[in-house]
Amino acid sequence: DIDHLNLRVQKELVEWLNWLKADIGFDGWRFDFAKGYSADVAKIYIDRSEPSFAVAEIWTSLAYGGNGRPNLNQDQHRQELVNWVDKVGGKGPATTFDFTTKGILNVAVEGELWRLRGTDGKAPGMIGWWPAKAVTFVDNHDTGSTQHMWPFPSDRVMQGYAYILTHPGTPCIFYDHFFDWGLKEEIDRLVSVRTRHGIHSESKLQIIEADADLYLAEIDGKVIVKLGPRYDVGNLIPGGFKVAAHGNDYAVW
């Protein structure tokens, strides 16, 4: 175990981070198991090494109801993520992985897409509160891959990417999905839509519909995304929009 409260440990870790930056060329940090030490300590490392980007892994359980399903309201879960960024310094480079969005998406794509509209009408994850500081993802080396600790439904992975790659937040693509699953071209298409239309971490999200079998949202008035098996949504798509990407139970205009 590392004693992060030990001043010598802090000093040597900061020196190592600055060596990684100056000599090796790293410009950002990922804080693994960030709930294992205080945000005050993380702030020391960030302030004294000045990365251009930093993201923390704060992985806690969602709130579950008596039926074993996640509650619709996950405010406490995303508040924990927001609190960490606040304490480290909201104006700096610190962000957190949006585990709230990941957990809700996992369940929503299994016929519960109504979950993607929170009680306030906004996105229910951290991206609904502080999208500039939310790093969205479908799976990572812990949740998916060989560890398989909280995997996204494997036959609906592209619905997850259609969501995060069109929505606010900073989306993160999982190596396995891109290189090993044969999804490179489909993911690339979504990335190019995001890039072409300038969708960014603070883009404006308007949720048009969120039912069991349909989620429909417009981003920055430029992109519309549909998740779910409902096919006939033409009456909900404004004139002038053309399909730019589509796949199993998703489409992007």
In a domain? residue 49: no
Active site residues: 32, 57
β pairing state of 223-227 and 53-56: unpaired
Q: For residue 64, what is the domain's CATH number?
A: 3.20.20.80
Output 180-189 pairs: Cβ under 8 A, ≥24 positions apart.
181/157, 183/157, 183/158, 186/158, 186/161, 186/245, 186/247, 187/158, 187/161, 189/244, 189/245
| Structural domain for 77, as ranges | 58-202
In a domain, residue 40? The reply is: no
Q: Tell whether 225 is covered by a domain.
A: no
Q: Is residue 253 part of a domain?
A: no
The pLDDT, as a whole number, for residue 216 is 98
Instruction: Tell me the C-alpha distance between 56 and 125, whole Å.
Output: 16
Residue 22 lies in a domain: no
Task: Report pLDDT for 234.
Answer: 84
- Residue 1 pLDDT: 80
Per-residue pLDDT of the chain in tens (253 residues, 90 and over written 9): 889 999 999 999 999 999 999 999 999 999 999 999 999 999 999 999 999 999 999 999 999 999 999 999 999 999 999 999 999 999 999 999 999 999 999 999 999 999 999 999 999 999 999 999 999 999 999 999 889 999 999 999 999 999 999 999 999 999 999 999 999 999 999 999 999 999 999 999 999 999 999 999 999 999 999 999 999 998 999 889 999 999 999 999 9
Helices (H) and strands (E) in the chain, counts: 7, 10
Number of domains in the chain: 1
* Any domain includes 79: yes
- 132 residue type, one letter: A
